[in-house]
Chains A and B, each alone.
Chain A
Amino acid sequence: EDKVVQSPLSLVVHEGDTVTLNCSYEVTNFRSLLWYKQEKKAPTFLFMLTSSGIEKKSGRLSSILDKKELFSILNITATQTGDSAVYLCAVLYGGATNKLIFGTGTLLAVQP
């Protein structure tokens, strides 16, 4: 059975800390791994990773994929209270249907 597992389930840090969120997967016909940030409403797209070892960066956020070990990490440096959210990992799989299978998310709380 295909699955995406995220850890930790929740995390509390202080502003300025660096955090690492983990995502492992076992998905048939893997195409890409995606990270989303979900505050109160819509998940918003952060990164798509298709190739191993190539780091994607956007400001204080970065992510990398290891297709041999079947995992990805999302790093956030110098955290701010605005980073508080649920971070979702999802795997794009299959052929022409563009379907995603999601992990349950990591709830990050950044305290002032």
Chain B
Amino acid sequence: GAVVSQHPSRVICKSGTSVKIECRSLDFQATTMFWYRQFPKQSLMLMATSNEGSKATYEQGVEKDKFLINHASLTLSTLTVTSAHPEDSSFYICSARDKEAPLGYTFGSGTRLTVV
């Protein structure tokens, strides 16, 4: 089946630094990628939708200058958390639209970000 590879799985960074998270679609073209954030014991909240070759669409309340999304190719989307702060510590998950997967959505394995 379709696979979305997400890296890194865990990252610890210092406050004020930037962290890049990558999601790659394997064996299929991800024209659309969704980025979610999940705080402990809470639901997945959509942060933004990115389409290959165009600017991402951010959900209300999500700072586009802080969470930079790049979707330059059909198989790679990246989320960069800039000037990270402890409150950005969360679980970040990407999801790609795939025609072959149930409902057309395949999830990455997630990235646990801890900002110290």
Specify whether A and B are partners.
no
Residues of A within 8 A of B (CB): none
Residues of B within 8 A of A (CB): none
